[in-house]
């Protein structure tokens, strides 16, 4: 059982130490990989020059660019909503960066009300992410949205 209130507090403290999105996303992706069981990739894509670009992450090397509306990440950003995909093979246009991935959770992050990045989490297990995981991780992204400095994005 993940202690999500501790995780949220750790995220808050990391960002308060340095709010720039690069160190914050780096340590938050490492923290999520350490804390949540059964993940094979966790990290961020940021919106830059009209497409998503891979940001800090943990896992195998990943696709560098994702166009808006493509894959789970590009769709979550375009439609500005969380996508909890129980079976990535059943998601039209899923981009297979790591062939081990079976389920995926993507949550958009906002700056000034606009979606400017996504948190992407992949699992080798079907239906890995519960609605409780989704709600707690959404809270974590809200902490990020409130505290991050997006300089240079
Ligand atoms: N599967 C994602 C691409 C990113 S990787 O999972 C790291 C997608 O379909 O958008």
4-147: which CATH number, 3.40.50.720, 3.90.190.20, 3.30.450.40, 3.40.630.10?
A: 3.30.450.40
Taking the C-alpha atoms of residue 57 and residue 137, their distance in angstroms, rounded to an integer, is 16
Q: What is the DSSP string of 13-81?
A: HHHHH--BHHHHHHHHHHHHHHHSSS-SEEEEEEEETTEEEEEEEEES---SEE-TTSHHHHHHHHHTS
User: Whose alpha carbon is nearest atom 3 of ligand 1?
Assistant: 95
User: Domains of the chain: which residue ranges?
Assistant: 4-147
**What is the distance in angstroms between the CA of the first residue and the CA of the last residue of the chain?**
35
Q: Which atom of ligand 1 is nearest to the CA of 76?
A: 10
Nearest CA to ligand 1 atom 4: 97
Task: Enter the pTM of the model.
Answer: 0.98
The pLDDT tens digits for 14-29 are 999 999 999 999 999 9
Which atom of ligand 1 sits closest to the CA of residue 95?
Answer: 9
- Ligand 1: residues whose CB is within 6 Å? 41, 62-63, 66, 71-74, 94-95, 97, 101, 104, 120, 122
With bands split at pLDDT 50, 70 and 90, how would you rate the model's confidence at 118?
Answer: very high
Q: Whose CA is nearest to atom 5 of ligand 1?
A: 97
- Could you give the CA distance from residue 124 to residue 118 in angstroms, rounded to a whole number? 20
Burial (CB count <10 Å: 0-12, 13-18, 19+), residue 113: exposed
Ligand 1, residue 91: give the atom nearest the CA. Answer: 9
Mean pLDDT of the region 22-46: 98
């Amino acid at each position: 059982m993940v202690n999500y209130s501790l995780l949220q507090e750790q995220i808050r403290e990391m960002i308060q130490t340095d709010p720039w999105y690069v160190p914050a996303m780096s340590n938050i992706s490492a923290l999520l990989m350490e804390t949540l069981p059964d993940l094979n990739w966790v990290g961020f894509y940021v919106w830059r020059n009209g497409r998503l670009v891979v940001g800090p992450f943990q896992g195998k090397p990943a696709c560098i660019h994702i166009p808006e509306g493509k894959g789970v990440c590009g769709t979550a950003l375009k439609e500005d909503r969380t996508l909890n995909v129980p079976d990535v093979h059943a998601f039209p246009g899923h981009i297979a960066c790591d062939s081990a991935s079976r389920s995926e959770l993507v949550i958009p992050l906002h700056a000034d009300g606009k979606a400017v990045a996504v948190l992407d989490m992949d699992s080798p297990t079907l239906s890995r992410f519960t609605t409780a995981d989704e709600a707690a991780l959404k809270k974590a992204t809200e902490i990020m949205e409130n505290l991050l400095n997006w300089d240079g994005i």
